[in-house]
């Protein structure tokens, strides 16, 4: 039914066809029992080594990859960037070549530079998985978001999904737009002008000026944190105003009782989303985390078939 998944690396959503995405979703489904992750171990990655190289902070993505690799029977090695020779000036390519000389199979990397994973791919003997590169892409996050939405709506064709918040600094937004459009969804954005990229007109997405308008239009919203670590000062007049015009609160759930709410985390309660909304029945934030492990298991297994 689907074309063969023929990739050796996963660095960007743009490399995946609709058929590839559905192959990943179908495989991920096997690791779930309804909405719950199965705990059964398999040995498809027995004798394979997965290096987790996170040059930037992470809680859920790193742990999710670690649990996914563990469930598939892989050996897992944590690379501590700030305690490594990178701190002594070793280049990224030398770091990869050094680690690969120890005969590893996967290099799962998060890096603050946009394009870092794409760049390393050309030098790699191992399989490179992009776990987030600067403001560029976060393909496994988009896959788990799309998987969560498809499980809710069954089919994303024509579904209206609005991404709200700090789009400018968000790799999640870029990967989400690409993936959800491939699956046939209609995408809109909602952010102050200063948190939208300059080339926004090329993205071909409607832009809403308030979260009230966005919710009026949308079947689902994907809410993003203000990524202050990548922000120049002066992009926002005040947090209070951002929260008032772009935040999601209980009034939006009252406005649209079947609104689906996603957030990739980490959440800053009271800024982009209120605590009670993030924890209400319309919110799928914890389900996203569960699905993230299943999606990463699927990716690891599918990529390993092309070594
Ligand atoms: C996102 C990231 O790191 O890009 N988080 C994640 O991986 N779940 C979003 C963010 O940091 O705001």
Q: Residue 77, Cβ neighbours under 10 Å: how many?
A: 15
For residues 130 and 80, give the distance between their C-alpha atoms in angstroms, rounded to a whole number: 17
Confidence of residue 65 (pLDDT cuts 50, 70, 90): very high
Q: How far is the CA of 81 from the centre of ligand 1 (A)?
A: 18
Predicted TM-score (pTM) of the model is 0.97
Indicate whether residue 225 lines ligand 1 (CB < 6 A).
yes
Ligand 1 centroid – CA 172 distance (Å): 7
Q: Span 16-33, mean pLDDT?
A: 98
Q: Mind listing the pLDDT tens digit for each residue in 208-233?
A: 999 999 999 999 999 999 988 888 77
pLDDT of residue 194: 94
Q: For a pLDDT cut of 70, what percent of the chain falls above it?
A: 100
Segment holding 222, helix H or strand E: strand 220-223
Cα-to-centroid distance, 249 and ligand 1 (Å): 21
pLDDT attached to residue 99: 96
DSSP state of 231: P
Residue 204: other Cβ atoms inside 10 A: 9
29-33: long-range contacts at Cβ-Cβ below 8 A with a sequence spacing of 24 or more?
A: 29/294, 30/298, 31/71, 31/293, 31/294, 31/297, 31/298, 32/290, 32/291, 32/294
Token output for 89: 């000036």
Q: How far is the CA of 303 from the centre of ligand 1 (A)?
A: 23
The answer to whether the bond into 266 is cis (omega within 30° of 0) is yes
Most ligand 1 atoms within 8 A of CB, residue of 166, 266, 291 to mutate: 266
Per-residue pLDDT at 84? 78
Confidence of residue 260 (pLDDT cuts 50, 70, 90): very high
Whether the per-residue pLDDT at 98 is higher than 80: the answer is yes
Q: Say which residues have a Cβ less than 8 Å from residue 56's Cβ, sequence separation at least 6.
A: 110, 111, 112, 132
* Mean pLDDT across the chain: 95
Q: Per-residue pLDDT averaged across 294-305, rounded?
A: 98
pLDDT above 90: residue 85:
no
Q: State if residue 263 touches ligand 1 by the CB under 6 angstroms criterion.
A: no
State residue 89's pLDDT score: 82
Q: Count other C-beta atoms under 10 Å from residue 264's C-beta.
A: 27
pLDDT tens by residue, 104-149: 999 999 999 999 999 999 999 999 999 999 999 999 999 999 999 9
Ligand 1: does its nearest atom lie under 6 Å from the Cβ of 60?
yes
Task: Report pLDDT digits (tens) over 146-181.
Answer: 999 999 999 999 999 999 999 999 999 999 999 999
165 C-beta closer than 6 A to ligand 1: no
Q: What local confidence, expressed as pLDDT, does residue 229 receive?
A: 85
* Separation CA 31–CA 29 (nearest Å): 5
């Amino acid at each position: 039914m689907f074309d063969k998944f023929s990739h050796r690396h996963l660095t960007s959503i743009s490399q995946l066809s609709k058929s590839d995405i559905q192959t990943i979703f179908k495989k991920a489904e096997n690791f779930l029992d309804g909405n719950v992750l199965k705990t059964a171990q398999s040995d498809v990655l027995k004798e394979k080594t997965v290096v987790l190289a996170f040059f930037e902070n992470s809680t859920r993505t790193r742990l999710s990859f670690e649990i996914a690799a563990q469930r598939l029977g892989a050996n897992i090695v944590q690379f501590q960037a700030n305690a490594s020779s990178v701190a002594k000036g070793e280049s990224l390519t030398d770091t990869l070549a050094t680690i690969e000389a120890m005969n590893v199979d996967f290099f799962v990397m998060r890096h603050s530079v946009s394009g870092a994973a794409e760049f390393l791919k050309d030098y790699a003997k191992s399989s490179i998985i992009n776990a987030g590169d600067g403001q560029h892409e976060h393909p496994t996050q988009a896959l788990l978001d799309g998987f969560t939405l498809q499980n809710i709506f069954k089919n994303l064709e024509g579904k209206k999904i609005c991404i709200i918040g700090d789009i400018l600094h968000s790799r999640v937004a870029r990967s989400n737009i690409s993936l959800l459009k491939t699956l046939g969804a209609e995408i809109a954005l909602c952010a102050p002008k200063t948190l939208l990229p300059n080339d926004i007109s090329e993205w071909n997405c409607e832009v809403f000026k308030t979260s009230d308008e966005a919710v009026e239009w949308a079947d689902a919203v994907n809410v993003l944190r203000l990524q202050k670590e990548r922000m120049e000062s002066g992009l926002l007049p005040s947090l209070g105003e951002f929260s008032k015009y772009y935040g999601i609160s209980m009034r939006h759930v009252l406005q649209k009782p079947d609104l689906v709410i996603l957030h990739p985390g980490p959440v800053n309660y009271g800024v982009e989303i209120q605590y009670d909304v993030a924890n209400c029945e319309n919110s799928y934030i914890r389900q996203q985390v569960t699905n993230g492990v299943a999606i990463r298991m699927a990716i690891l297994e599918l990529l390993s078939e092309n070594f």
